[in-house]
Amino acid sequence: MLSKKSMKILSVIVLVVMLLVTLGNVVCAVTVPTPNEVTPNPEVSNALANILGIMKWVGIAVAVVIAMYLGISYITKSPEGKADIKKQLPLFIGGIAIVLSASAIVGFIQTALGGK
């Protein structure tokens, strides 16, 4: 099992990567065109939609594996270990919320800009 310090570092790295993936285009934008100026390229839109879908399902799969690990650990640990697992649950739930909301926000923006 990972130590507390390693778990915190891993959580921060995953959070930063997810934020960079979802906000990278917004941060690097110079000008934001209005929806009337946007001419979507179907190939790029389809590729980005596929990548977003893959990332979402990978995130969900990782969340399921971590949930199973935490559940089995909770069952088999001593009371002190159970307290540590209870401390990790808010981070786990926050990570799930970030993964699901990031894909929803990107989908909403894509729809608002006239994409699929």
List the chain domain ranges. Answer: 43-116
Q: What pLDDT score was predicted for residue 105?
A: 80
In this prediction, residue 8 carries a pLDDT of 81
Ranges of residues in the chain with a pLDDT under 70 are: 1-2, 19-41, 113-116
pLDDT at site 79: 86
Q: What is the pLDDT of residue 19?
A: 66
**What is the model's pLDDT at position 23?**
60
DSSP state of 36: T
Tokens at 39, concatenated: 């001419």
Alpha-helix runs per DSSP H in the chain = 4-28, 42-76, 79-112
Q: Give the integer Cα–Cα distance in Å for 107 and 109.
A: 5
**What whole-number distance in Å separates Cα of residue 97 and Cα of residue 105?**
12
pLDDT, tens digit (0-9, with 9 covering 90-100), for 3-14: 888 878 888 888
User: What's the confidence (pLDDT) of residue 114?
Assistant: 63
